[in-house]
Every structure is written in C-alpha cells, then in structure tokens.
Structure 1
Amino acid sequence: MEDQKPTPPPHPADDVTEHVGYRLKRAAAALRGAMDTALREHQLTVPQYACLELLDQRPGLSNAELARSTFVTRQSVNVVLRNLQDAGLVSRPATTEHGRALPTHLTPDGRARLDAVRSAVYAIERRMIATIPEHRLADLLTDLDRMAAALDT
C-alpha cells in the first residue's frame, strides 16, 4: 500500500469544529431544537409547521411539491399530511379530476393553528438573526443560497 498524503482541509482549520459544514449543522440543530420546543406547545412538528406555512403561501400544493419544499421524502410527507388531515388542519380530495396529484389546502382550523404558532417561530428567527449585524444579513442569505446551489445536483 502506498503512503498517501493527508488531504488538506478546504480552508484553514485547526479541527473539525472550524469547518463550515460543522458550523452550519450546529446552527441548524440549534434552530431545530428551539422550533421543536415551541411547536410542541401547539401539538405540531417542524415538518407539519413547514407544510402549514407553505400551504398558506401556495394553496393546492401536491404531496411531491410539499416533500421537496420541506426537505422530506414523499413517504414522510404522506404521513405528515395524513396527521394534519386527521387533526382537521388540512383538506385533500379523495380523488382528482386531472392526473394523480391531490391538492392540499389549509382548513380554517389549520389557518388558526398556523396563526397561533407563527409568532413563536418568528420570535426564534428574530432571536437567531439578532446576532447578525443588519448590514450583513442580505449577504448571509445570498451566501447560504450560493452554498446550497453549489451542492445541488
């Protein structure tokens, strides 16, 4: 076996905790934990909340569109939607006139639950971005989009 040279890190870093990916994961985990806590009080999960937000902005999304937009599999979004439907928060037709996609809509109870939880979720985001100087926020969002685009296949 040949001696292999160590692979250099993508940028100067003393250990793994200084890598961009590690820091992104740490921030995502902190956000997820704070959201889980806030949403639990409203009997919602993060994927359920994400579906409610998306359906408020774009009523009639299909399961596949919701899965892509909430970063879960189609199978997982089916479970999420079934639970939301059982709770009376969304409605979906049993059949569709065109194709196979079943459009999903918020019910009045779904809209009320979303309105009730939104302030808690937005407070978490406000707390998180309060640590970023206002003049840098737009650049941060652009940089995050660029990083995601660089990895999209």
Structure 2
Amino acid sequence: MSMDMTTVGDSGLLDALQHEVAVFARRAEQTRLGGVGQVRNSMDRAAYLLLNRLDKEGPMGVKALAASMGIDSSTVTRQVAPLVDTGLVKRTSHPEDGRAVVLQLSPRGHSRLDEVRSSRRQLMADLTQDWAPEERAAFCTLLTRFNQSLSARMAAQGVPGADQPTQS
C-alpha cells in the first residue's frame, strides 16, 4: 500500500527534495559535471553515454545500440556521426553480414573515454572530499534508487527507454 507522504506532515521535506533535485538538474546541465582539468566540459552527455555503452557492451550495430540505450536509431545515427568524424568510434562491416554496419570504440575513443572518466572521478572526489566513505556509499545507493524509481515511473507512463539501466 502506497502512502501519500504529503498527508503525513512531510510536505516541507518533499518541497525541499523537489527543489534540490531541480537545482541539481540545472547545475549538472550547466557544468555537464564534466570533470576537472583540461578535459572539463569536453564531452557532452550523449557522447559520453554512447562511448560508455560501446565500451561496456562491445561492438554493435546502430539498432542494437539504440535498443540498449532506449533511444531511436535515428538519434543514435545523428549522435554517432561526430564521434566517427573525430575518430572516437569506428564503423566496420558486420562479420556475418557485410551490408550491416557495426560501431565500436576506436583506440582513440578508449583513450578519450578513460580521460573523461578519470576527470569525472576526480570531480566526484573533489566534491565529496569531506564526506565519510559511508556517506559517499549511501549517497550513491540513494541516488541509484531514486533514478530507478524515476525510470520505473517513466516506463509505466510509456516513455521509451525509461526501463534502461541507469549505469550507462
């Protein structure tokens, strides 16, 4: 049984929570949580998520990549084009069907993704430097749970890709 928390005197906390989520979303978009140093803000969210997915799942076609990310194939095609142009992603022929195209990270793409991950990891370390390890773990657990709840709600509303894992 679900309870409407606003009826149990929690409306002030829920107001504060929705405000902090809105502030977080704005700040995350403004800074792109890009990291620190020279690679700060140097890779947009779409590129990072695409490269990260190819790194974790390996080479795949446009349709498979789109399905795994829960987005339209035309969106993947549009987002991958500049990654191919800059040499971060390679297009190759499918080994079993020469007409099909397979996307994979290039060595340059792996290197660039490693740089961005390292920079973003350092940003997270900087932002939480005065947090106890248990606080970092609790925040990660709760943020993951929040994202999963948001995804479940979006999926229930029929939003495409809402049921995709949050790690990529």
Give the TM-score category using the shorter length.
Answer: 0.5 to 0.7
1:25 lines up with 2:22 in the alignment: yes
CA-CA distance at 1:9 after TM superposition = 3.7
Give me the whole-angstrom Cα distance separating, in 1, the residues matched to 2:72 and 2:24: 23
How high is the TM-score relative to the length of structure 2?
A: 0.62
Structure 1 length-normalised TM: 0.66
After the TM superposition, which of the residue ranges 60-69 and 102-111 deviates more from structure 2? 60-69
Helix, strand or coil for the counterpart of 2:32? helix
How many residues were matched structurally? 143
Residue 131 of structure 1 and its aligned partner are, at CA, apart by 5.3
5+ residue gaps, structure 2, are: 156-168
Deviation track 1:10-64 (CA, whole Å, cap 9, x = no partner) reads 7331894x1x23322322332333336655764x322112222232232124445
Q: How much has 1:73 moved relative to structure 2?
A: 4.7
The verdict on how the C-alpha distance between 1:150 and 1:36 changes in structure 2, with shifts beyond 3 A counting, is closer
**How is 1:1-153 mapped onto 2 (pairs within 5 angstroms)?**
9=6, 11-13=10-12, 16=15, 18=16, 20-35=17-32, 42=42, 44-63=43-62, 66-67=65-66, 73-93=72-92, 97=96, 102-130=101-129, 132-151=131-150, 152=152, 153=155
The Cα of 1:102 is off from its aligned counterpart by 4.7
Q: Structure 1's 77 and 131: CA in aligned 2 closer, same or farther, altered over 3 A? A: farther
Cα distance in 1 for residues equivalent to 2:52 and 2:114:
10
Inter-CA distance 32–121: structure 2 relative to 1 (3 Å threshold): farther
**CA 1:108 to 1:62, structure 2 compared with 1: closer, same or farther past 3 Å?**
same
The 1:141/1:106 distance shift into structure 2, 3 A limit, reads same
Q: Unaligned regions of 5+ residues in structure 1, if any?
A: 1-6
2:92 counterpart SS class: coil
Asked if 2 retains the 8 angstrom alpha-carbon contact of 1:62 and 1:103, the reply is yes
Task: Tell me by how many angstroms 1:138 deviates.
Answer: 2.3
Q: State the shift of 1:127 in Å.
A: 2.4
Contact 1:63 1:101 in 2 (8 A): no
- State the Cα RMSD in Å: 3.5
Please give the alpha-carbon distance, in whole angstroms, between the structure 2 residues aligned to 1:29 and 1:101. 39
Distance change >3 Å, CA 72–CA 25, structure 1 → 2: farther
Provide closer, same or farther for how the CA distance between residues 90 and 12 of structure 1 changes in structure 2, counting only shifts above 3 A: same
Q: Deviation at 1:8?
A: 8.0
1:137 partner letter: R
